[in-house]
Structure 1
Amino acid sequence: MRISVNWLREYVDFSLSPQELAERLTMAGFEVESIEDRRTWADGVVIGEIVAAAPHPNADKLQVCTVNIGTSEPLHIVCGAANARTGLRVAVATVGTYLPNIDLKIRATKLRGERSEGMLCSLAELGLEKTSAGIHEFPGEPPLGSDVRPLLGLDDGVLDVTSTANRADA
C-alpha cells in the first residue's frame, strides 16, 4: 500500500521525516518496501510566465519564449510544446536543475542557433504522468519564481508499506 506522508499528516500530528516514519513503522511490525522522496523531483523548478512566444527562425516545430520568473532579467527558452503561448503560467526548470525522471541536468545551450536558458516542463518531465501533450499550464496566477513542488504535490514523501502476516499480535 502506498501512503502519502502529507496525507497522514492530515490525520496525525507528527514532525518525522519520511525516513524516520519508515523506521518507526518497521519497528511497529510493518514492512516499508520503499520511500519515494518526491521533493527531489522538481528541486529548482519555479513558476514562470511566458511574456512572449515567437516561432523559431530555424525550426518549424520550435518556439522561442521569453519567460519571466520574477528575476530582474527574463529567460529566453526554446520550447517544442505546441501549447506554449503568451500569458501562460508554467513550470520552468532553471539552469542547474536536475530532473531525475528524465535524467536531465538543465544547462544553458543553443538550440538551432537560439540560446535557451532553461526548460518549460510538462507533467511527464516532472514525473507526474507517463505522457503529456505539452507543458503544464497552472491555473490562476501563482507567484512568479515560487517553488512548483507544493502546487503539484511534490513536497511529499510516499511510503510503500505492507503489513507483515506473521505478527504474534495480529
Structure 2
Amino acid sequence: MNDRPHSPIQDLRVNAVLARLQGARQRSAGGGPRGSFNSRDPHAYAEQGFSIHSEQGELIYLLCRGLRATRVAEFATSVGMSTLYFAAAIRDNGGGTVIGSEIVPAKVETAKRNLAEAGLADYAEIREGDARKTLRDLGGPVDFVLIDGWPGESGPSLARG
C-alpha cells in the first residue's frame, strides 16, 4: 500500500490514502505558487494539491508522537496530506484535534473526504477561509504548528502576514 517500506504509520487504511495522494501529485502547467505562474489567486489552483512529501509527513508524524501532541494547527491544509499525518499521530497518541485552515472551498471538501477515507475525520477540524482569520482563536494552547502559507500579492508568503 505504502511505497515507503519503513513508514512509522502502521495503519493500512491511512497508508492507502497517503499513497493515492502521493501518486496523484500534480502541478499546474504554470508551476504553481512558487514557480513561474500566471496567478497568485489560490482559487486558480483548486485542482492542484500543494502538499508535503512523504518524508516531511513522516517527520511530522514522529515529532507529534514524540511530543505526545494532542492539539496541533496547520496554516494551509490544501487537500489534507499534512492533516492526515497529524491526525494519525494524534489518534495514535490517544486522541485530540488537528485544526486546519484552507481558503479554497473545493480543497476543504477534498481534505475532509481524504480524512474520512483514512478513518481520521474525528481527529480534524478544517476551517474554511483565510488562515490569518480562521486560526486567530484556536481555543487554547497547541503542541505543534505547521505554517505552509501561500505567496501573497505584496510579499513572499501569507504565513508572514
Highest relative contact order (Cα 8 Å, sep 6+), 1 or 2? 1
TM-score w.r.t. length of structure 2: 0.23
Q: Greater helix percent: which structure?
A: 2
TM-score w.r.t. length of structure 1: 0.22
Q: Greater strand percent: which structure?
A: 1
Larger radius of gyration: 1
